[in-house]
Every structure is written in C-alpha cells, then in structure tokens.
Amino acid sequence: MTHEFPIRVYYEDTDLAGIVYYANYLKFIERGRSEFIRSLGVDQVALKANHGIVFAVRRVEADYLRPAKFDDQLVVVTALVADTGARLVMDQAVTRDGEMLFTATVTIVCLGEGGAPQRLPADIRRKLAPKLH
C-alpha cells in the first residue's frame, strides 16, 4: 500500500534558476511521511506523551532524477517497506504527472526519552503491519 500527498512548489522552494532547491525535497518527503503516519491513526504527539517515543531519521539514501520548478504540482508517494520493531524503512518518491523526479529510502528509528533506540508499542506495530509492501 502506498500513501500519496500532494504538494505545490512555491517560489520559496526554488533557487535562482527557478528549480526546487535540493534540500527542499527532504522537507517534501518529511511531510509525506508525517501524513502517512497520521493516516494510519498514529498520533505522534500522543506517542511522545504516552510512551516517551519519538521518530528520528537515521539514514536517507536519495536520488535526484529531474528538476521540479516553480508552481509544479507534485505528489509525494510513501510506502512502508520494513518494520524491525525499533526501526521503520520507507521508500518515497516525488512525482510530477506520473514522472519520477526524486526517490529516497529513509530509515526512521524510534527513540526513547534518553535518546536510545526503543521498540514501538504493540498497538502501533499493529497499525503498521498491514501497510508493509
């Protein structure tokens, strides 16, 4: 299963050449991951308040394939590909009219209040399990 999140490119997202500045793709996919997690019924604020757990990016492997430009309508596509208890791996892509512009594999770790890795609670894992592709 994949999740899709639409984004429009604003002037502030671009560089002097009028194309999306490379670091902004990381912002776009962050929003896509956050909305994907929210769509599963996982409240990250409650996760922190009730379990002392937060998500943190550990690794990003990215490929920039084609430029996006001012006013483009993009779609961030997110798919959960692995869940190892304290770690989630997601494949993400930014597309424009079905054309792949950017791809990334992102590893997210679950951290406890002290900053050490911590397993996700069983109720959260149950929400994620059917989403593995």
Question: What are the tens digits of pLDDT across the range 84-98?
Answer: 888 999 999 999 999
Tokens of 39: 């769509």
Domains, the chain, in order of start with CATH, read 3-131 (3.10.129.10)
Beta-strand relationship, 73-83 and 99-111? unpaired
C-beta neighbour count of 99 within 10 angstroms: 10
Q: Are 79 and 1 in contact (CB under 8 A)?
A: yes
Question: What are the tens digits of pLDDT across the range 101-119?
Answer: 999 999 999 999 888 999 9
DSSP state of 71: T
Tokens of 99: 């054309």
Per-residue confidence at 131, pLDDT binned at 50, 70, 90? low
Does the annotation mark 15 as catalytic?
yes
Q: Which of 13, 15, 71, 123 is catalytic?
A: 15
Q: What is the pLDDT of residue 87?
A: 92
Q: For the chain, what is the total number of helices (H) and then of strands (E)?
A: 3, 5
- Rounded-to-integer distance, Cα 104 and Cα 107, Å: 10
Q: Cα Rg for the chain, rounded, in angstroms?
A: 16
